[in-house]
Structure 1
């Protein structure tokens, strides 16, 4: 499913693009519409909601789309931002805010579907999710935000930057859901996200620690066993190459 925020001060354009989005044939879409940037930002501030895609008109009187995108990027680095504009002269500026793409007005439905499909594929290829049940509740976490898993008896503890969760999956079941290029098993009881690796210290892997999205001066150490050390070193080297 795609959660989309559409912001355009022109009611006709708002209606047309909203209808196109609801006709998107490849996956279910939920879309919220906003007549200006401040209303969108206020809604985000008041509600605990995340959008996968932002469709932003550039020419708006209260706050132009590029300024709005800069505000969004202050708290959301992952969503796909797609601009809608009548003027190609803005194109030089839109890519300064990690823009996914842009659409020219009047928006053509088939072109819109093509851009939305590419955004859909991009989001699902770069942001995988980890699903689990615990005490009759179902949870879905963004795998990118999981620091590590710790297995203790029948329970697996899942640690993110801000919270801890529990599930009853085995190590094998957990690994089956994860991207093998991003996560590595380092011990019979531990799986780590390579994104958070700071280095190695003796027989331990050193993890970065964050608080409120800020890197802390302290680090966390987890044991690495000889059995997994070679594979871990290979994975971390490949991960660094892939990123840089």
Structure 2
């Protein structure tokens, strides 16, 4: 699983990275970006399963970054982190999955991050199987 986190405040960027690392998600890579332009310059479709964006950033805010990402990739899970609730409605207009407040108790971070990871596992789950005697597959569903 590849996760991008983008926040102009280094303390929140490192804090979120640490929380994701502490979750011990198998085969997980977390990439940090301090602004939306750097993220967009690096981003290609399918690169990330999850992107967590700060809403308020200089030059290009998280909502603008999310709009550009949606033009490229409509399947990536986007969540927002911010200090302010008033941007929630706008966040959901770009298909945000979660809206995380920066200053909240750790158990809430864990709950919200777990829900994002669970959604990712359900949305991007793949199944691998091998059977030399298998001639046809009629139906396969998660």
Q: TM-score range by the shorter chain?
A: 0.7 to 0.9
Aligned position for 1:86: 83
1:149-200 CA-to-partner distances (Å, cap 9, x unmatched) read: xxxxxxxxxxxxxxxxxxx67246x568x317xxxxxxxxxxxxxxxxxxxx
Aligned position for 2:96: 99
Aligned-residue offset at 1:132: 6.3
Does the CA contact (< 8 Å) of 1:65 and 1:83 recur in 2?
A: yes
Find out whether 1:109 has 2:71 as its counterpart. Answer: no
Aligned-residue offset at 1:118: 1.5
Does the CA contact (< 8 Å) of 1:56 and 1:65 recur in 2?
A: yes
Aligned-residue offset at 1:116: 2.0
**1:98/1:169 Cα in 2 relative to 1: closer, same or farther (>3 Å)?**
farther
Does the CA contact (< 8 Å) of 2:5 and 2:32 recur in 1?
A: yes
Q: Structure 2: state its 5+ residue gaps.
A: none
**1:24/1:175 Cα in 2 relative to 1: closer, same or farther (>3 Å)?**
farther
Does the CA contact (< 8 Å) of 2:6 and 2:54 recur in 1?
A: yes
Distance between the aligned counterparts of 1:40 and 1:62, measured in 2?
13
Distance between the aligned counterparts of 1:175 and 1:107, measured in 2?
48
Does the CA contact (< 8 Å) of 2:49 and 2:77 recur in 1?
A: yes
Distance between the aligned counterparts of 1:169 and 1:72, measured in 2?
43
Distance between the aligned counterparts of 1:131 and 1:71, measured in 2?
33
Q: Which has the higher contact order (CA 8 A, sep 6+)?
A: 2
Does the CA contact (< 8 Å) of 2:46 and 2:73 recur in 1?
A: no
Find out whether 1:58 has 2:83 as its counterpart. Answer: no
Aligned-residue offset at 1:114: 1.3
Aligned-residue offset at 1:71: 0.7
Aligned-residue offset at 1:87: 0.9
TM-score, normalisation: structure 2: 0.85
What is the number of equivalent residue pairs in this alignment? 142
Aligned position for 2:65: 68
Aligned position for 1:23: 22
Aligned position for 2:141: 179
Q: Structure 1: state its 5+ residue gaps.
A: 134-167, 181-244
Distance between the aligned counterparts of 1:44 and 1:169, measured in 2?
41
Distance between the aligned counterparts of 2:73 and 2:133, measured in 1?
30
Higher strand residue share: 1
